[in-house]
Amino acid sequence: MALNRFEEIFDAQGGTPESDEADIPGLIVDEYENKYYPIESPNPIEAIKIRMEEMQLRQVDLVNEFGGKNRVSEILNKQRKLTVEMFRKLTTRLNLSAKLLIKDFQHS
């Protein structure tokens, strides 16, 4: 019965009572998924790699942020840890949150 009603109001125009009513099942599903099927954020290196791919950047494009060509490779291959200065530069260049980047740093 609730599913039938949701199907009726799913495409309701924004700002209408039906649209507001359709938001409620979405919030319930979102809360359920967050509680029982949480998606963890990627580790800092994976987040950097993902953003590099999204922005179509190569390792050489981040030499300034990492402090050298070899350093980029070492960091991305997890042979060296990110520094605070790298956090600062990467949050700006890649538009990543500092909280995400320092995740592993806090547990070292």
pLDDT digits (tens, 9 = 90+) for 52-92: 999 999 999 999 999 999 999 999 999 999 998 998 999 99
Mapping DSSP to helix (H, G, I), strand (E, B) and coil, where does residue 85 land? helix
Q: How many CB atoms sit inside 10 A of residue 91's CB?
A: 17
- Above pLDDT 90, what percent of the chain? 45
- pLDDT of 58 reads 96
pLDDT class of 104 with cuts at 50, 70, 90: low
* pTM (whole model) above 0.85: no
Residues 44-106: name the CATH superfamily.
lambda repressor-like DNA-binding domains (1.10.260.40)
End-to-end CA distance of the chain: 52
Mapping DSSP to helix (H, G, I), strand (E, B) and coil, where does residue 102 land? coil
Contact assessment for residue 22 and residue 9, using Cβ atoms and an 8 Å cutoff: yes
